[in-house]
Structure 1
Amino acid sequence: MISNGLVVAAGEQQGYQAPTIDDMHLPAIFEIGSFAFGKQMLLVMLSVVIVAGFFMYAARKRAMVPSRTQFIGEMGYGMARNSLGKEIIGAHAYKPFVPLLFTAFFFILVNNLYGSIPLIQLPTMSYVGSAYALAIIAYVTWVGVGIKRKGLGTFFKDMTMPSGVPPVIYVILIPIEFMSNMLIRPATHALRLFATMFGGHLAIMVAASLTQYLIMEAGGFAALASVGSGVLGIFLFFLELMIQCIQAYVFTLLLAVYLQGSVSEGH
């Protein structure tokens, strides 16, 4: 009887409960068989409309003296064209890849920024499936380009046999390079984006829920500690906002680097 009473008392005094993955990833809006359509998928579809709509609106007049919207659109396109395309892939080979780099950057940027928009507050790349889908598209693209440009044998030679290495070292180096470039590279490409979005958003949720708990439930002197957790939450919010932009750039930058390796001569 005493032990049962202690269990009940412990259950009633659990205190602060940190948010879990289930709290972060909401249930599906509707399901059809094994297919589930949720908030994350809805936001991904909405991001396509946002990106396409904004740049179509920005380019509608194409004036010599651009409006503010046209200027922002041209600046965004110029960044993808020059910083991510021309400077990394090379002036002779970058043009066919500008649409891909442009689309990848702004698509990821919008989906990341969802996490900082009130009421939405869900970076869709915090779902590992979204990050892996983008990484697979990137992987198929740069591998396909490399095989088309160089041929199957030359492409895999460049990926696994660095120049200037004694031939005897290739026995060890080829398996390592193959795993690094062909297997580990796409996995890390996805996980880098997913982990930063997931971890950052979960940290903000913890800070916000702790602040709410200290104010609404703990009360008393404990409520004073809510100032610290609240300030931490604000700091994490702006830090995450910066990381959301950086990770969109980093993902696209790496895609450009991989494409450069596919079109360049040698390893």
Structure 2
Amino acid sequence: MATNEGGFQPPTISETHLPEIFPWMAEWGTGFGKNMLMVILSVIVISWFFMWAIRKQSLVPSRAQFAAEAGYGFVRHTLGRDILGEKHFRKWIPLLFAVFFFVLVNNIFGAIPGLQLPTFSHAGPAYALAAIIWITWITLGFKTHGPKFMKLMTVPSGVPKWLLPLLVVLEFLSNFIIRPLTHSLRLMAVMLAGHIIVMLAGSGVEFLVAQQGGLDGYGLGALILVGSIPLYFLELVMMVLQAFVFALLTAIYIQGSIEADAH
């Protein structure tokens, strides 16, 4: 970054928040913006693709049907049966399926020219989705075990009684406060970091070409552009990986509620 006046000014986090399209609560800085629009678009895209892919089911599947069945099979077996077990996994497949593909599509939006905004690079959507999972986990735990669930999640077995006052507080904070925060912030932080890297590369190229010009400006701009290509594919990998991790943790939390008394 240049320190002299008129030098390169890198993009800031605030610049990742685009102006709202319909700012109905301007004093709170909220409204209907590109972020919300892309959430709605993701639901439409996911629904349309799977309905279109399975419209003509065949023993010899088309490419679209094969992709849809492969995606469903991945969620069913890897995130469902392998984590929750044969006895419990079937009823949770719809939730895991929705979570995985919802996060995946909203992440991949950040790699599509013109859209280039991963929805979960903003904290709000990540907090909202993690809150839904947290409420589901808590509700399932109390429904399965009753009030005993609180003890199961806060009182570790096999420890000296004199340590319990400290450990109960730590377990409560870990399971009921820190868990949903890390579930959301992990996703948000990775998506935000990737988004800023793309913005930084783009603004750097623009500055070098438009402001500097000449052989040095065009040469360095082209070098940054070429160097950003591996970063683009790395970000794409992280988008898929974070969708998998978020859905995997969802399955683990559900499994923990169901079998809390076995721990």
In the TM superposition, 1:1-80 aligns within 5 A as 13-34=5-26, 36-80=31-75
Indicate the SS of the match to 2:262. Answer: coil
Q: Which residue of 2 aligns with 1:102?
A: 97
**2:93 counterpart of 1:93:** no
Write the distance in 2 (CA, Å) between the matches of 1:44 and 1:17: 31
Larger radius of gyration: 1
Write the distance in 2 (CA, Å) between the matches of 1:102 and 1:261: 19
After alignment, is 132-141 or 231-240 more displaced?
Answer: 231-240
Q: Deviations over 1:100-130 (max 9, x none)?
A: 0000000010000000001111111111000
Q: CA RMSD in A?
A: 1.8
**What amino acid maps onto 2:262 in structure 1?**
G
Contact 1:18 1:206 in 2 (8 A): yes
What are the ranges of 5 or more consecutive residues in structure 2 without an aligned counterpart? none
Shift of 1:11: 11
In the TM superposition, 1:191-206 aligns within 5 A as 191-206=185-200
Write the distance in 2 (CA, Å) between the matches of 1:183 and 1:72: 38
What are the ranges of 5 or more consecutive residues in structure 1 without an aligned counterpart? 1-9
Q: Deviations over 1:127-178 (max 9, x none)?
A: 10000000000000011111101112x2112211222323332222111111
Shift of 1:221: 4.9
TM-score normalised according to structure 2 size: 0.92
**2:143 counterpart of 1:133:** no
**What amino acid maps onto 1:235 in structure 2?**
P
After alignment, is 182-191 or 18-27 more displaced?
Answer: 18-27
TM-score normalised according to structure 1 size: 0.91
Contact 1:149 1:262 in 2 (8 A): yes
**What amino acid maps onto 2:159 in structure 1?**
V
Indicate the SS of the match to 1:157. Answer: helix
Write the distance in 2 (CA, Å) between the matches of 1:44 and 1:74: 24
Q: Which residue of 2 aligns with 1:210?
A: 204
Indicate the SS of the match to 1:92. Answer: coil
Match of 1:248 among 220, 240, 243: 243
> What percentage of residue pairs aligned between the two structures are identical?
48
Match of 2:178 among 174, 184, 187: 184
Match of 1:163 among 130, 133, 157: 157
Structure 1 residues 94, 222: CA separation in 2 closer, same or farther (over 3 Å shift)?
same
**What amino acid maps onto 1:94 in structure 2?**
F
Structure 1 residues 12, 140: CA separation in 2 closer, same or farther (over 3 Å shift)?
same
